[in-house]
Structure 1
Amino acid sequence: MNPIQTNGSPILVFAGGLVGAAGVALSAAAAHRGGAFTGTAASFLLMHAPVFLAVGLIGANRYLRVGSLVLLAGLLLFAGDLVARDFLGSKLFPMSAPIGGTLLIAGWLAVAASALMRRQS
């Protein structure tokens, strides 16, 4: 049985692959071009990529999957804002980094809470 087809989420596995690739690409960009914001964004992308892969492969429960999607939304806003600052010279939109950071915190709390929920698919 393939866990991605039974209990996992191919969307989260796909997101994990893209987030990991973006993290590597932005790490290279930060090293060659400079940009403290880009380096921070790369670090955040690389540290979250394994989370999406793991949850996407094992699935666990609905709460864990929802928490992972909240993490993904927060990561895209937070890292997107940092990259926009270095490459575009302006914020993604007002409050995008704080909103993204708040979603990251909420996502991690949802991941923690998922351990306390009964197993559901």
Structure 2
Amino acid sequence: MTNDPIHAPHRWPAAVGALYAGLSVAAAAYASHGLDGEAQSRLMLAAMFGFGHGVALVALGRQALRRRAAVALWFLLVGVALFSGSLAGAALAAWPTRAAPWGGMLMMLGWLLLAVDSLRR
């Protein structure tokens, strides 16, 4: 990708995806060694979704140049923040998980948009 400012917004999902993946490794390690019970399960689930979607954002973020695909990646990015963030907050700080369903819906919508975009290529 060039330094063209038109393509710059598409770099953010890839960069944030890499951060999600890295943070997810740390979260899984902490869950494995520092938590147990429901907190451990929640943090491991948050790490699993964060890592998987982080890798997807890195892989797809560098090539999503059409509007529909770019919107889909932003849905994934925000969805992971809400879903995994909500579960991690519950595990680490006893926060409510009210944002998790919204994050899950955004992730599902993002994948659906990517499927439609792939069929329209």
What TM-score bracket applies, with the shorter chain setting the length?
0.7 to 0.9
Q: Deviations over 1:32-87 (max 9, x none)?
A: 11211000000001111121112222234221111010011111000011011111
Do 1:52 and 1:68's aligned partners in 2 also have CA atoms closer than 8 Å?
Answer: yes
1:91 aligns with 2:92: no
How far off its partner does 1:23 sit? 0.8
Do 1:4 and 1:58's aligned partners in 2 also have CA atoms closer than 8 Å?
Answer: no
TM-score by length of 1: 0.84
Q: What residue in structure 2 maps to residue 28 of structure 1?
A: 29
1:103 maps to which of 106, 111, 115: 106
Separation (CA, whole Å) in 2 of partners of 1:38 and 1:20: 14
Do 1:13 and 1:52's aligned partners in 2 also have CA atoms closer than 8 Å?
Answer: yes
2:60 maps to which of 28, 45, 55: 55
Q: What residue in structure 1 maps to residue 80 of structure 2?
A: 75
Q: Which runs of 5+ in 2 are unaligned?
A: none
In the superposition, relative to structure 1, how do residues 53 and 4 fare at CA in structure 2: closer, same or farther (>3 Å)?
A: farther
2:120 maps to which of 107, 117, 120: 117
1:38 maps to which of 30, 43, 66: 43
1:91 partner letter: P
User: What is the aligned-residue RMSD (CA, Å)?
Assistant: 1.7
In the superposition, relative to structure 1, how do residues 4 and 23 fare at CA in structure 2: closer, same or farther (>3 Å)?
A: farther
Do 1:4 and 1:10's aligned partners in 2 also have CA atoms closer than 8 Å?
Answer: no
2:108 partner letter: I
1:13 partner letter: A
2:71 partner letter: V
Number of equivalences = 114
